[in-house]
Amino acid sequence: MTDPGWAKHLADILRRNGIRMFATVPDYIVSHVLEHLAADAECRVVTVTREEEGVGLLSGAWLGGRRGALLMQNSGLGNSVNALASLNVASQIPIVLVLSHRGDLGEFNPAQVPMGQAAGPILDALGIRWIKPSSVAELEAQGDGLVKLAYTRRLPVAVLLPPELTGGKQG
């Protein structure tokens, strides 16, 4: 049974760590987190048309002194690999990636499976530290440390949101 409060917990972790700039490509799962962020007058949420556009926007925000997070489906990771590698990793610009994890256990759409299985290995290949919490307790135990690590290492980090945590997207 999933905890419906997972989205608020994640939004709280992001805000607790000084993140106020958010870019997103619309997605059902991450929309639950965005509801909490958009309700906060201190947070700015920008909808982008492609994931790498969000990478550029948030990298610019970092250079301007703001911390940012990109919320998207894990399929968007494939669209943003070059931007993450050549900009964020190469130039040590931290951002937090929040990825709804499609293509894993219980996936109903076969088109989601290849990228769902590749997400972790892609993050590993880029040297991006990531977590995949299956419960709110795991999210709370690991989330703050992961976000702090992004700014200590000056590199991107990622939170993969599995269906065990979020309840997934039903077909």
Confidence of residue 1 (pLDDT cuts 50, 70, 90): very low
Is residue 102 in some structural domain?
yes
117: tokens are: 């299985």
Q: pLDDT tens digits for 60-103?
A: 999 999 999 999 999 999 999 999 999 999 999 999 999 998 77
Is residue 14 in some structural domain?
yes
pLDDT at 3 over 90: no
The CA distances from residue 34 to 92, 95, 132, in Å, are 26, 16, 19
Confidence of residue 45 (pLDDT cuts 50, 70, 90): very high
Confidence of residue 108 (pLDDT cuts 50, 70, 90): confident
Q: pLDDT tens digits for 50-63?
A: 999 999 999 999 99
pLDDT of residue 28: 92
Is residue 139 in some structural domain?
yes
pLDDT of residue 102: 79
Is residue 145 in some structural domain?
yes
* Contact status, residue 89 vs residue 128, Cβ threshold 8 Å: yes
pTM, to two decimals:
0.95
Is residue 116 in some structural domain?
yes
Q: What is the CATH number of the domain that holds 132?
A: 3.40.50.970
Is residue 41 in some structural domain?
yes
Is residue 48 in some structural domain?
yes
Instruction: Supply the range of the domain harboring residue 89.
Output: 6-166
CA distance 164 to 168: 7
pLDDT at 47 over 80: yes
Is residue 171 in some structural domain?
no
Q: In sequence order, what are the beta bridge partners of 99?
A: 72, 160
Q: How many domains does the chain have?
A: 1
pLDDT of residue 2: 55
Instruction: Select the more confidently predicted residue: 149 or 167.
Output: 149
Cβ within 8 Å of residue 5, ≥6 positions away: 136
For the chain, the straight-line distance linking the first and the last C-alpha, in angstroms and rounded, comes to 18
* Contact status, residue 3 vs residue 136, Cβ threshold 8 Å: yes
Return contacts of 56-61, CB within 8 angstroms, 24+ apart. 56/83, 56/87, 57/21, 57/23, 58/21, 58/23, 58/95, 59/87, 59/88, 59/91, 59/93, 59/95, 61/21
